[in-house]
Amino acid sequence: MRRLPNTLAFRLTLSYAVAFLVSSFAAFCLLYVSVDTILNNRMNEDLTEDISEYSDLYLAEGMNRVVQELEREAESNDEEQMFLRLLTSKGQTIFSSNLTEWKELPISEEFLQKVPEVQGEYRIQTVVRPHHDSSARITSGLIAPGLIMHLGESLEEKDEIMNLLLLVFIGMFCVAIPLASGVGWAIARKAVKGIEEVSRAAVDIEKGQLDRRVTIKDQGDEVQMLVDTFNAMAERIRILITEMREMTDNIAHDLRSPLSRIRVISERALSVTEPDNEYRVAASDTLEQCDRLLHLINTTLDVAEAEAGVMSTDTEPINLSMLIEDARDLYEPAAEEKKIKLSCKLDPDCRVKGNRQMLQRMLANLLDNALKYTGPKGQVKIDLTRQPRGLCVMVADTGFGIQPADQPRVFDRFFRCDQSRSQDGCGLGLSFARAVACAHGGDITLASEPAQGSTFTIFLPPFSSTPH
Do 231 and 214 contact (CB within 8 A), yes or no? Answer: yes
430 binds ligand ADP (CB under 6 A): yes
First-to-last alpha carbon distance for the chain, in angstroms, is 72
Contacting range for ligand ADP; rule: CB under 6 A; set: 142-150, 181-189, 384-392, 419-427? 419-427
Count of Cβ atoms closer than 10 Å to residue 460 Cβ: 27
Closer Cβ to ligand ADP, 214 or 430, answer by number = 430
Closer Cβ to ligand ADP, 201 or 428, answer by number = 428
Closer Cβ to ligand ADP, 271 or 422, answer by number = 422
Cα angle value 372/378/384 (rounded, 5°): 80
Least spacing, CB of residue 341 vs ligand ADP, in Å: 15
Least spacing, CB of residue 321 vs ligand ADP, in Å: 22
Least spacing, CB of residue 304 vs ligand ADP, in Å: 15
Least spacing, CB of residue 6 vs ligand ADP, in Å: 53
Contacting range for ligand ADP; rule: CB under 6 A; set: 54-62, 86-94, 426-434, 436-444? 426-434
Q: For the packed helices 429-439 and 356-372, what is the interaxial angle rounded to 10 degrees?
A: 140
Contacting range for ligand ADP; rule: CB under 6 A; set: 4-12, 32-40, 63-71, 367-375? 367-375
429 binds ligand ADP (CB under 6 A): yes
Closer Cβ to ligand ADP, 425 or 441, answer by number = 425
DSSP β-bridge partners for residue 88:
147
Closer Cβ to ligand ADP, 188 or 439, answer by number = 439
Could you say which of 47, 410, 439, 460 contacts ligand ADP (CB under 6 A)? 410
Closer Cβ to ligand ADP, 425 or 461, answer by number = 425
Could you say which of 13, 55, 154, 369 contacts ligand ADP (CB under 6 A)? 369
Do 412 and 397 contact (CB within 8 A), yes or no? Answer: no
Least spacing, CB of residue 297 vs ligand ADP, in Å: 15
212 binds ligand ADP (CB under 6 A): no
Within 370-399, the residues that bind ligand ADP by CB under 6 A are 370, 373, 397, 399
Mask 159-188, x = binds ligand ADP (CB under 6 A)? ------------------------------
Q: Whose CA is closest to 217, among 189, 193, 236, 237?
A: 193
Could you say which of 82, 155, 223, 428 contacts ligand ADP (CB under 6 A)? 428
Number of residues near ligand ADP (by CB under 6 A): 21
Least spacing, CB of residue 272 vs ligand ADP, in Å: 34
Least spacing, CB of residue 413 vs ligand ADP, in Å: 8
Least spacing, CB of residue 339 vs ligand ADP, in Å: 17
Interatomic CA distance for residues 215 and 195, integer angstroms = 12
416 binds ligand ADP (CB under 6 A): yes
Least spacing, CB of residue 455 vs ligand ADP, in Å: 9
Could you say which of 400, 434, 437, 460 contacts ligand ADP (CB under 6 A)? 400
Least spacing, CB of residue 452 vs ligand ADP, in Å: 10
Least spacing, CB of residue 391 vs ligand ADP, in Å: 21
Count of Cβ atoms closer than 10 Å to residue 410 Cβ: 22
Binding residues (CB under 6 A) for ligand ADP: these are 365, 369-370, 373, 397, 399-400, 402, 410, 415-417, 420, 425-431, 454
